[in-house]
Structure 1
């Protein structure tokens, strides 16, 4: 068996920011302008309002199979995955997405050109331990790449935990818990270059 590298989807492989903007347009007919290009969370990145009640329900209906199957790839992410695959690693997407959207997520990755044939869907709850910890324990990858620091909590220590820092404003990827990360990178392309330079097969 080839060694496995586990990869998060949104923020590592896929540009959730852009699809959030398009979902807003589908819901309300307005394509939001950018507010803060360095914002971590899409609600802070775009000129949008915090929603409640019927408006929030209306917006949530747009997070459907179409949404989860059409998120664009982050620049450089497909090439990074191809480099990792060509170096002899199997790639698995471990994503905090509802099980009912798992097939759409996989189709999305395939359509973008990612050399990924498996998606593991996990809970998205943040209850002190990463909802991905159990899946990673069973999968036993040699490395796991995520862009959300709390999702490194409780994963097996023998797995190399790589953190993608991305946009800094409002980021949760700060503070003393950075010690949970064995390495930190600007994006997946940066991780791939660093990993392949230090850990060739």
Structure 2
């Protein structure tokens, strides 16, 4: 019997990209950045880091390699939330706006952290009228799609429940008229799981 599918974003929902970003900064530039705004949505606003020039950007981008994408830490409470969903009979699939060449690294990362997830779909990122994730979410027959980036709900079929994780509010894209694309809104994945399983 086929289990119902929940599609889950990775960074900001399952994994703490902000913390991984700060560790990458330390590896490249030698010091862990101070926190400037704990409520910032984007890592470059959360951490007290300077804007980089061309050479600095090239050095920093090189740090986002196979090793980086294999070692991003978990969001608080997310592993436990996933186990609750899996125990309730759901199949969990990670749908991530990551370059496809890092798909296997992302799966290794999730498995190492103890997530009950056996499949990652890397869609890449592009700002278009229809989200690059929409087709992937539909192709796996997802009943629910959980993401922390509102524009990724563009073009998702109306039959799929779109659960928005708000996360940090400062500078967040999760506002305005497009909030209507979200079927429900939650503070984090644990709050979504609690709400969904209580229906």
Corresponding residue of 2:163: 162
Shift of 1:52: 2.6
1 CA distance for matches of 2:124 and 2:57?
A: 21
Aligned to 1:123: 124
Query: What does residue 83 of structure 1 align with?
Result: 84
The residue number in structure 2 matching 1:184 is 185
TM-score (norm 2): 0.98
Structure 1 CA distance for aligned equivalents of residues 53 and 185 of structure 2: 36
SS state of the match for residue 195, structure 1?
A: helix
Q: How does 1:35-184 map to 2 (within 5 A)?
A: 35-184=36-185
Moved runs in structure 1, 4+ residues, more than 6 A?
none
Distance in 2 of aligned mates of 1:195 and 1:104: 29
Q: Please give the secondary structure, in 2, of the residue aligned with 1:11.
A: coil
Q: CA deviation at 1:186?
A: 0.1
Larger deviation: 50-59 or 87-96? 50-59
Instruction: Give unpaired runs (5+ residues) of structure 2.
Output: none
Name the CA distance, whole Å, in 2 between partners of 1:68 and 1:126. Answer: 22
What is the number of equivalent residue pairs in this alignment? 198
Q: CA deviation at 1:140?
A: 1.3
**Distance in structure 2 (CA, Å) of the matches to 1:49 and 1:149:** 27
d(CA) in 1 for partners of 2:124 and 2:105? Answer: 16
Question: In structure 2, the residue corresponding to 1:142 is in which secondary structure?
Answer: strand
CA distance in 1, matches of 2:51, 2:134: 31
Question: Shift of residue 4 of structure 1?
Answer: 0.3
Which residue of structure 2 aligns with residue 15 of structure 1? 16
- The residue aligned with 1:197 is 198
My pick for the range that moved more, 131-140 or 77-86, is 131-140
> Using the alignment, how far apart are the partners of 1:174 and 1:53 within structure 2?
32
Distance in 2 of aligned mates of 1:132 and 1:51: 30
Q: TM-score of the superposition, structure 1-length normalised?
A: 0.97
